[in-house]
Amino acid sequence: MPDIAKLITDLPKAELHLHIEGTLEPQMMFALARRNKIDIPFRSVEEVHAAYNFTNLQDFLNIYYMAANVLVEEEDFRDLAVAYFDRAAADNVVHAEIFFDPQTHTDRGIPFDVVINGLLAGMKEAREKHRITSKLILCFLRHLDEDAAFQTFRMAEPWFDRIVGVGLDSSEVGYPPSKFARVFAAAGKARLKRVAHAGEEGPPEYVHQALDLLHIDRLDHGNRALEDTELTTRLAREAMTLTVCPLSNHKLQVVNDLHNHPIDRMLARGLRATINSDDPAYFGGYIGDNYRAVAKARNLSREACVTLARNSFLGSFLDDQEITPHLQKLASMLP
Ligand SMILES: Nc1ncnc2[nH]cnc12
Ligand SMILES: [Zn+2]
């Protein structure tokens, strides 16, 4: 294995941008469809892969929401999480902050408690089996309205001690962060962390809104912030963590070619960029694959790879005491 690929495998990593519903591999989709007697419009894994030919975010989301219908029982959510953590362990992920989309499930009659109990069971198993720590981030679907977000927020209230924060995902353009300012203010009052997808397909203005109206602690994607020099300078000055997802960016045509991915430009501009997998079952790889693909395409140095891993801990919602051993390990991996 070339040096850099080995280094990448060995790096302890935190994954900060991972939609648990986006880890549903085709094989599991078929198994759960059978188990729960749910119709899906595919007959084979090959047919599924052929359908994963996206030209934009919405193309992907249409399939992603359809596939999520196979998740019904608590055990399904647990199995999904366990399968993700098994993969993450192989990539030396030691900590993961995972998104879940409760509205995708509650809107089709699956109780919130079924979803969260299943995920928490998977997280517990990951801790025992792999010593991976993890936290949950509840995402509001931005194509739905503010009332629906507030209903979800209230549904989640009894679980606030098991959720580290709230996020904002789904179709971006036409659904600005401003729509969710009040529910994010309520989350802030409840001492939850706040993150939001912005600047994936949406303009730099959405990143401004995420900062100024949602008061985010972390920016998911943020690619288009680079179009605004002052905004880029501000993100660097405020040490805002960007959760960047290279294979997703390529699959959804946020970047036309991985060779043009801006990851090293982000680092050069002082941004606290991190590497993550977003929806690995749909975009061709898990976190290690993302590191390796972008490192190769952009000829990243060992130092850059270590910086990216270091940023993942600095940008996590772990406390200083928890991240210190990981930072020490990373420091020892440089010559
Ligand atoms: N990349 C992404 N952007 C927005 N919403 C999502 N939901 C799952 N993956 C997403
Ligand atoms: Zn995402």
Q: Could you please state the CATH topology (level 3) that the domain comprising 3-331 is classified under.
A: TIM Barrel (3.20.20)
Proportion of the chain above pLDDT 90, given as a percent: 99
**61 has pLDDT over 60:** yes
pTM, to two decimals: 0.98
Q: Terminal CA-to-CA distance of the chain, rounded, Å? A: 19
pLDDT per residue over 72-126, tens digit each?
999 999 999 999 999 999 999 999 999 999 999 999 999 999 999 999 999 999 9
Q: Which residues does the annotation place in the binding site for Zn(2+)?
A: 17, 19, 197, 278
The vertex-331 CA angle with 328 and 334, nearest 5°, equals: 155
Residue 15 designated active-site: no
Mean pLDDT of 5-29: 98
pLDDT per residue over 226-277, tens digit each?
999 999 999 999 999 999 999 999 999 999 999 999 999 999 999 999 999 9
Token pair in block for residue 15? 């994954």
The vertex-80 CA angle with 74 and 84, nearest 5°, equals: 145
ipTM of the complex: 0.97
pLDDT per residue over 42-54, tens digit each?
999 999 999 999 9
Q: Give the total residue count for the chain.
A: 335
- Taking alpha carbons only, the member of 231, 169, 179, 229 closest to residue 205 is 231
Cα 306 to ligand 2 centroid, rounded to whole Å: 23
pLDDT band at residue 292, thresholds of 50, 70 and 90? very high
Token pair in block for residue 184? 């994010």
Domain spans, the chain: 3-331
Q: What is the model's pLDDT at position 335?
A: 77
Among 18, 139, 200, 250, name the best residue to mutate to test ligand 1's pocket (greatest count of ligand atoms within 8 A of Cβ): 200
Token pair in block for residue 248? 């997703």
Judge contact between 333 and 307, C-beta under 8 A. Answer: no
